[in-house]
Structure formats: structure tokens, C-alpha cells
Structure 1
Amino acid sequence: MKLLVKAPAKINLALDVLHKRPDGYHEVEMIMTTIDLADRVELTLLERDQIHILSHNRYVPDDQRNLAYQAAELLKRRFSVKKGVMISIEKSIPVAAGLAGGSSDAAATLRGLNKIWGLGLSLDELAEIGSEIGSDVSFCVYGGTALAKGRGEIITELPAPPTCWVILAKPFIGVSTAEVYRRLDLNGTRHPNIPEMIEAIKSHDYHKVCQNVGNVLEDVTLKLHPVVAQIKDQMKRFGADAVLMSGSGPTVFGIVQHDSRMHRIYNGLRGFCDQVFAVRMLGERHTLD
């Protein structure tokens, strides 16, 4: 038995960090939405009790470091599953980009194995299991658009944002999320207005969404990697309505509504940046069908 599951990337429309928690994690409030840039995760049922990862991307680990492997291992252990799985990951989402590619692969693995191993779990149950793997995995189990709180595992569903294009640009660098959080100084930091962004999404107000994008991690990454600031400036110059770094970076995204402006930004950035994509927001939650 084989099953193909899409694993879409996410962007942060707003990302706020409130404080460091006693457990070492940071208390966050994030508004995330999935976009139409996705890895393809193919699961093949194995009769033997083994987990195999297959990927042709040299930056994707094929052992216990892989979040999809951890997802399968956790389900096997939790529910005493004696069968195995081959997890083939075809990457389209850039690695270490602030787009939750690894987390989305893990979430797709959870949803797919729930089906082929016949576990009968709900999305809520899968999201709870996902929270043990990584902070973004719970959101990626659901997909769509949501407010994420806690360390990212407390999910409140939101409506889909207004329809628009998302242009993504990732320079040929990786960013350490741990280092960005370690360097984060919340004293004097300008925090995004999360309630205003939620209201903008609920009222389907595109201009208000653009006015309220924000990411407290951005200043840290921009200082570490000036090329990210250069990409932001280029996107603004080419006419994006709003520009923001996603997650801890280094990917920058710009949003526009008009096709002509999307093409201008996309073509302008291709000569400046290694990986450029123009996609739509998805906005709708996953189902278990």
C-alpha cells in the first residue's frame, strides 16, 4: 500500500515573542497560514518492522534527525505498531528557510500513517502528538490559517486570509533558529499587533493585513545576515504591498494582489536571489479523507 501526502509550507503573517519560559522555550503568539508550495511525502507500507527515509536532497537527513522519521517512530512506540514504512520525501520547500518544511513533512507523515496503519486518530490527537516532535508540527497537522500560542502548540483556527499572491525569496544561506532566539533581546522590541491582524483576517481586509505584518525575530536575523535586508529592500522597491521575513528566516515574502506586479517582483528577484517562488495562500485546513 502506498499513500501520497502533500506537505505545504507555512509563512508567518505575524510572529511575536512574549518571554522566555521556565522550561527554556519561548512563549510565542504567531499567525500562520499555509501556502501552495509543498513537499510530496510518499508512504509505502512495509511488513517488516522498520522505518526508512528516502530523499534525493543532500540536506535532508535519512535517520533519526529527520522529523518525519521521528513522527513515524513516535506513532510506532505509542500504539505498538509492528509494521514499518518507507518515507520518500520529494522536496520543493527550501531547507532551513523559516517555512516549516521539516515540520510539514512530519505532519504529513502523521496524517498518512494514521491512515495506512489504521490508527483512527483525529486531527486534534495527531496535533497533540506532533507537539512532542517540534513547535510548528501541531499547526502543520491542521494546515490552513491559525493563531498559535504557547511554544506554538496551542492552535486556534482562523478564516482564510484575503486572496493574494505570495512571492518568496530565499538566499543561499541557512539560519539557526536556536541562535536567533538566543540573540533575541525583547527590551525595546516593537511587537506586532496580533489582535489587529486577527481582525484584519476575520474582516477579509487585505490592506489591514498588509499594515499589520510583523516579526520580532527579523531584526536579529537582519543583523546576522545583511543579504536578508537587501532582499526586503528589493521587494519593496519592486512594489510589494507588504514584506516580511518568515519565521527565523532567511526567507522573505512579499504579498500583492495584482498579477502584473507579482510578475515584476518575481522576475526582478530571480536575478538577485537563489530560490524564488510565486504562490497562493491556501487558507483551508487539512482533512483526514
Structure 2
Amino acid sequence: MTQSLSSRPAGDAVESFAAAKINLYLHVTGRRDDGYHLLDSLVAFAGVGDLIRVGPSDDLSLAIDGPNAGSLAAEPDNIVLRAARALAAAAGVPAKAAITLTKRLPVASGIGGGSADGAATLRGLCRLWGVSPDETELARIGLSLGADLPVCLAGRPMQMAGIGEVLAAAPNLPPAWLVLVNPRVGLSTPAVFKARQAVFSAQAPLVGSPSDAHALASALAERGNDLTEPAVRLLPVIGDVLAAIAGQPSCLLARMSGSGATCFGLFADRTGAEEAARQLALGHADWWVAAAPLVIRGTQV
């Protein structure tokens, strides 16, 4: 067992929520020599996501169910299994667990679904296997699986820099609601970064805590998502999604999350968000639409 991991009694089957990750803004600030881009982003989470269940087993297995399970059927090695093996190797324990992923979020959609699943798997298996990695060690394991894993492990609003591994507490965010919309078309993150032609942006971390959802929208409007233009060029329907969200009467801000294709609208209250989601779903039956609260204090139980 590594020095930063400590043992405690293993538990019974547990569940872990994998919340959708939302880039409230995203600036590309540079590029490392190894090709990875440097980012500046305010990351938060929505009260909608996947569910991970882990239980005792004599081997390591993964079952996938849920409305978007079919999107993962062709994957030879899901990030959930890679997370389990990485944690077992770091902790010096056998990689044995029966894992079920209930896939509710769309795949390859810019809301960190895979990363959230991997983070939830690590949290659940820590409890199942009775290991207690400190935050630094767990973040190191997460980063080995993907740049978004550390922030998904944090599970609360964070200011993110570097390639995703430099995290700082975000200012307190006000209560707000989100409407998430995905046109059910996947978009490759590397392809979006490759298509980007603009100059690099300056860092613009949020200073101070917005008093309400309107103030948050105003602060975000001074920032943007540097990947929107190349994403729209690659997948023009993203422009249609943004226009449809922005056209909802109560929408305070419409923006793409991450590298797309999921976009979100920011709303002041549940009533406005749920009505907007209803109208969007009625007008675009082929889109994935979900209304959810902005998680402002953390997604972990």
C-alpha cells in the first residue's frame, strides 16, 4: 500500500453520483511543448448525472444500463474499469468489484461524463475496499486517467488552470438553475482543439461572489468559451442549440460547455428552467434536454 493510503474496514455495496461537469467559462491560455493546452475555467456541477454502484465480487466486472448505455456498447475498456485498476494498483489491493454504471448523460458531450464516472468509481471503491487516499494521491490517480478527473473528484465549484490539474476554490456561487441541451451528436475534443485558430486568451478568474443568478450571468458574459467557434464550424447544429436556448424568455446566458456539443442556459429559478426545458424538448424531440440546479456546495454525500 502506498504511503498516502491508509486502511479501514471495507464496506458493503455503495452508490456514488457522477454529476455533469459544466464549464461556466473556458479560456485557452496557452499550449505546452507536449501539445496539451493550458486552460482557465470556472467549473461547476449540475444536479443531473450518471450513477455508479460498486459491490463485492471475486473479479472485476462492469455492467452498463440506463438510457444512454448503448453509446458505450462498443468501448473495449471503459474509464470505469481503468479507474478501478489504477486505484487497486496504488492501494495494493486486488481489483475485485462488481460495478454497474447507469448512463444518463450523453457521451462525448463536453460535460465530463466519462471523467465524472471515473471519479465516482474511485470514490465508491475507496469505500468498498476500505482505503483512504489523501486528496493529493487521489487527484494524482485521477489525473493519470484524464485531465478532468481531478475537478470531478473535487465535486464542487472550482477555478481550474493548467491542463486541469491546478485547482483552487471558486468564490461562492449563488443559487441558480441550468438547462442542459445536447443534439445527440458526439464531438471529438482533440478535433475541436485542432480546429481552433484564435489567439490565446488571458486568464480571468472570477473575483468576488456574485450576489444572485443575474450577477453571475453578468460576470460570465465578460468571459467566454474559446472552443465555441471551432466547435460550431465542425458541428453547426451547436449554433442552433445555442440560439434555441437563448431564445427562452427566462434565459440569462446561453453557452457551450467544454468542447461541446452540450450547451447550457443559466436561469434564476426552477420554474423558468423547467418551462424552458419543456419548450426545448417539445420543439426538438431528437435533442437531450435536462433541467437541473447548479450545485453550489458539492456533489458528494
TM-score normalised by structure 2 residue count:
0.87
Give secondary structure in 1 for the equivalent of 2:131. Answer: coil
1:257 aligns with 2:268: yes
Query: Cα offset for 1:268?
Result: 2.1
**Residues 101-140 of structure 1 aligned to structure 2 (within 5 Å):** 101-140=113-152
**Residues 38-187 of structure 1 aligned to structure 2 (within 5 Å):** 38-46=49-57, 48=58, 50-56=59-65, 57-60=69-72, 65-187=77-199
Whole-Å Cα distance in 1 between the matches of residues 135 and 191 of structure 2?
A: 32
Could you tell which deviates more after superposition, 158-167 or 30-39?
A: 158-167
**Residues 238-277 of structure 1 aligned to structure 2 (within 5 Å):** 238-239=248-249, 240-270=251-281, 271-272=283-284, 273-277=286-290
Query: Cα offset for 1:114?
Result: 1.2
Report what 1:223 is aligned to: 233
Q: Give the number of equivalent residue pairs.
A: 281
Whole-Å Cα distance in 2 between the matches of residues 260 and 63 of structure 1?
A: 38
Match of 2:243 among 233, 255, 267: 233
Cα distance change on mapping 1:137 and 1:83 into 2, 3 Å = closer
Report what 1:204 is aligned to: 211
Amino acid in structure 2 at the alignment position of 1:5: S
1:36 aligns with 2:75: no
Deviations, residues 170-216 of structure 1 (Å, cap 9, x unaligned): 102100001001111133x6x48623xx125x243533421343100
Q: Percent identity?
A: 28
Amino acid in structure 1 at the alignment position of 2:42: I
1:11 aligns with 2:27: no
Amino acid in structure 1 at the alignment position of 2:263: V
Query: Cα offset for 1:44?
Result: 1.0
Amino acid in structure 2 at the alignment position of 1:161: L
Deviations, residues 234-273 of structure 1 (Å, cap 9, x unaligned): 1112231100001111111001114443244212211225
Cα distance change on mapping 1:225 and 1:267 into 2, 3 Å = same
> Any unmatched runs of 5+ in structure 2?
1-11
RMSD: 2.0
Amino acid in structure 2 at the alignment position of 1:206: A
> Any unmatched runs of 5+ in structure 1?
none
